[in-house]
Amino acid sequence: MDDLQLNISVPKKDKKKVKGIEQNASEYKFVSNPKFTGKTIARKRPQNLAQKNKSVINNAHGSPKVSKTSEQGPDKSDDLAAKLRDLSENKGKFQGKNYQDLSDNLQLKQKPRSGGWISSLFKNNPQVPRIGQRAIKPIVEKVFAGHNFSDLDIHPHSVANLQQNLGLKELMTVQQNAVPIILQGRDVLIRSQTGSGKTLAYALPIIEGLQAIRPKLNRHDGIRVIVVIPTRELAVQTYELFVKLVKPFTWIVPGLLSGGQKRKAEKARLRKGLSILVGTPGRINDHLRHTQSLNFAKTGCLVLDEADRLLDMGYEKDVAAIVKAIEDHKKAATYDPMAMIKQNIVKANPVDDETKDSNANEEIGEVTIKKHNLTEVFLSKEKQTILLSATLTKAVENLAGITLVNPVFVDTSEGKAVIADSLKANQSNEPPKKVKTNKDTPKVPENPKIVEKEQENDTDEEKPAEVKRGLKAFTGLNHPELFKKEDVKQATTAKDSVQNSVEEDSDSDSDYEYFKVQKQLAAKVKVVKNSEDDDSDEEVEDTKLAPEVNTFAEALKTAVGEDDLVLPATVNQTFLIVPMKLRLVTLCSLIVEHCVVNKKGGKMIVFMATLEMVDYHSELIELVLTGKDVKVKKKKLEKSKAKKRKANEDDAEDAESSEEDSDEFQVDYEEPSEGALIPVDIEMFSLHGSMPHEQRMEVFKQFRAAKSGVLICTDVAARGIDVPRVDLVLQYCAPASATDYVHRVGRTGRAARVGAAVMFLLPSEAQFIRHLEEKRIRLRQTDETRALEALRTIAPTATSVQRAAVAVQARLEKTTHTNKDWLLRASRAYTSWVRFYAGYPRDVREYLDSKKLHLGHAAKAFALRDAPATLARRVKSNPTNKKDRPSNRLTVHEDEEKKRPGFAKLKFGFGGRHINKQSSMHTASEYDSGLPPLEHSQPKKKKSK
């Protein structure tokens, strides 16, 4: 263990360096050890060394003695004057206490028996490397399109509502490109950068499609739209947008199912009826299993927002189950009076195209409102699917291949496929086009109306039957009434033959497999149909109809293969290399600088790795910087303490030993010479996935409303959330992937606003920048020498930046060592981070290598003074430290499976439960959706004889 202890001594040969620092005390610099190898550099301190090295000893009478070390210093008189001033300012503070004067002039003292290891904040730090910038040309996106909402073919009430209630007039690029296509009822995959207005790009046409349904919808008509979203906060935000958009159309009712809430209330809401359902996949699935009134027979549109996240969080089964439920419910809905009436009317009054068009439109005053194809989709048994994300992955490509039929790919980044249409290639019978450069990009008419018109022609005139069949691969085959009789016959024959061939080797338990089979089936049926239509042209038709060989597939493949990431050009991206020991004080400094010094009223988000880190850091920083005690959190803590006390009645003995432990941590601490820190007014917030639902929602609401403040959070806040006025994103812990980096940074600089993003890296992590550069992300290194300057604002009596930093660190450590609770929280945060660090995904592990961590220095970054092994033992041995396991939304009991007839069975996990193998260790608890928790199996009691 010796090699993990921290060194407090100053070896003689280092003294020159120390003096050098003292000389330039005003010019702050990280002191580095140039020979740092990333391995342990500290050594055990001989017990008596501290005494020998005391430079300023304040004896019981307060008379300062100057040590040899300081005598040798060239700026002796200055230094002495500073010390004398300190002494007069802090009269009496040092009575009877011993302080060392090392490189940073101040040291914390600790009882030798609690490990006896203390370290200097500025000593033995590894050198901060300079990372030059490579010539990377980031991809840019034009955010605004230069058109207005009134240019779209949408209801004037919607245009007015957007302007009056949302303050929106000009269209964003993604909206201009995507709205007309969605109004066409086409399946779409949309990729555009963070904060580019994707939510409105799908919500607006959906409302447009729904409001045109006549007779008007009512809430009992069933759920028409399902929007699946990975996190609760994003679900709430999206739901709120729908609420705003339906203002002019009060008969459309949006609803929210987001987990964490009482099932009973949600059930009641579902019974009352909804037109649009926004929810997290786990919760929707939960209701699918337990709520009889939830029915998707009328669902005409499915939106999968943050599609890549939905998949990499292990939600793919939930998503597949929802898609399948829509399919099953539609299939099961044999009696549909509205559809029958509509069909009969059509049969009785065959009309020509012109009359049909005029019937389809409605007159409002002098304006004629067009009925779009999407409205027809809502009235049929078909379904439109929309996938969205700012980042694409192979998994999204697979999902698109499985769920989208004859889709359109909208990518708004420069030089990419603006619109790649799977039907366009088929029509022209041209080989698939390359979409890498502007030159090769499929031509898109500038006016969205033209796009719409062209597509109308494509679908309505040239290939209506094909579109009808192809567009809805899953629903069409199961709803023969949509086809002519002969089509049905062929479809059924083809279906049978494909089904037979596939059933043998398919995994009938897997929803995902089910969709693959369905997709194959749909493609094969199309081929069969066409070969019968024209035998001689078989080969050509085959190529034409295979959805894989088209512009869409090529464009998507290229986009995924290139793996380039796009960030708003308005965000100034930088990184700061901070030695481990200085991380916490540097964080405090940046918070003070951003919220107090530079921009009064700055609003920032700080991303940390684990929920334990979030809890601990937010409370600690709030207490140290503002002096405020967090009452709510304390209450929560007391509650959980009481609960634990009840549960552990027989822990009296352990409690006693814990008391002893806390004694051990009563550090002989005194304020450093700088005296008390000046409290500043900063509002702190914290957010993570394991917080109680109400608290989580309240924090989100408060932070959104706040004019300034700091939100410390995990990646639960990295996706989609749109908090106004966030002007700085700070990544305190490196992200698990370049994609996560993009989404975290994307919380600022939204809708073309200016923002800044800073990432903290350890010296050993510096090469992570190269990894980001490979994805065309370019960052600039910030000068670390100024990073701590803001601390002088809160420690104004400090004579140097270093002194201020030590004073803040001292206060942080003092707070952490006040009592057992604090220490446990710190230890938990520390161990959770170490564990997290060891679990970085393989492709970033070479840059974020846990073997290069200095665990002793890391303890300092958690304001701990104890050796890592002691901490780990403490955390492990404390019986009250057993955390409640987060409820696992991926677990479903077998008896629940049976509640909904026809619901697909999932694979068996341990102990008769179904467990999704792909649940990610990094995110599982963050995205809990409220399903019942795992029950711990009780060990069988031995029968007493």
Interface residues with ligand ATP (CB under 6 A)? 168, 170-172, 175, 194-200, 390, 720, 722, 746, 750-751
The nearest distance, CB 744 to ligand ATP, in angstroms, is 10
Q: What is the DSSP string of 652-700?
A: HHHHHHHHHHHHHT-------TT-SPPP----EEEE-TTS-HHHHHHHH
CA distance 442 to 209: 27
CB of 407 to ligand ATP, least distance (A): 19
CB of 618: closest distance to ligand ATP in angstroms?
A: 23
**Measured in whole angstroms, how far is the alpha carbon of residue 177 from the centre of its chain?**
26
Q: Considering the complex, what minimum distance in angstroms separates the CB of residue 752 from ligand ATP?
A: 8
Other Cβ atoms within 10 Å of 62 Cβ, number: 13
Q: How far is the CB of 174 from ligand ATP (least distance, A)?
A: 7
What is the C-alpha separation between 681 and 627, in angstroms, rounded? 9
Measured from the CB atom, the residue of 232 and 857 that comes closer to ligand ATP is 232
Q: Are 186 and 455 in contact (CB under 8 A)?
A: yes
Q: Which is nearer to ligand ATP, 491 or 717 (CB)?
A: 717
- Which C-beta is closer to ligand ATP: that of 1 or that of 705? 705
- How far apart CA 243 and CA 228 sit, in angstroms, is 16
- Of the pair 584, 605, the CB lying nearest ligand ATP is at 605
Nearest approach in angstroms of CB 308 to ligand ATP is: 11
| Cross-strand bridge partners of residue 277 | 226, 255
Q: How far is the CB of 239 from ligand ATP (least distance, A)?
A: 13
Please list, in sequence order, all residues whose beta carbon lies within 8 angstroms of the beta carbon of residue 712, skipping any fewer than 6 positions away. Answer: 606, 608, 614, 617, 618, 621, 684, 685, 686, 687
CA distance 571 to 872: 40
Q: Which residue has the tokens 């192979």?
A: 394
Shortest reach from residue 225's CB to ligand ATP, in Å: 16
Q: Which residue lies nearer to ligand ATP by CB, 553 or 566?
A: 566
Nearest-angstrom CA–CA distance, 178 and 448? 9
Q: Are 255 and 270 in contact (CB under 8 A)?
A: yes
In angstroms, give the least distance from the CB of 746 to ligand ATP.
Answer: 5
For residue 118, give both structure tokens: 């203390």
Q: Which CB, 151 or 683, lies closer to ligand ATP?
A: 151
308 in Cβ contact with 389 (< 8 Å): yes
Residue 73 vs 749, nearer CB to ligand ATP: 749
Gap between the Cα atoms of 13 and 30, Å rounded? 19
Nearer to ligand ATP, 168 or 734 (CB): 168
Whether the ω angle into residue 480 lies within 30 degrees of 0, i.e. cis, is no
**Adjacent-strand bridge partners of 816:** none
Closest distance of CB 769 from ligand ATP, Å:
23
Cβ atoms of 212 and 432 within 8 Å: the answer is: no
Please, which residue, 125 or 194, has the CB nearer to ligand ATP? 194
> Considering the complex, what minimum distance in angstroms separates the CB of residue 171 from ligand ATP?
6
Considering beta carbons, is residue 171 or 206 the nearer one to ligand ATP?
171
List the Cα angle 699/794/682 in 5-degree steps.
15
Residue 200 or 716 having the CB closest to ligand ATP: 200
Q: What is the 3-state secondary structure (H, E, C) of 721-765?
A: CCCCCCCEEEECCCCCCHHHHHHHHCCCCHHHCCEEEEEEECHHH
The 3-state DSSP class for residue 755 equals: strand
- For residue 703, the SS3 value is helix
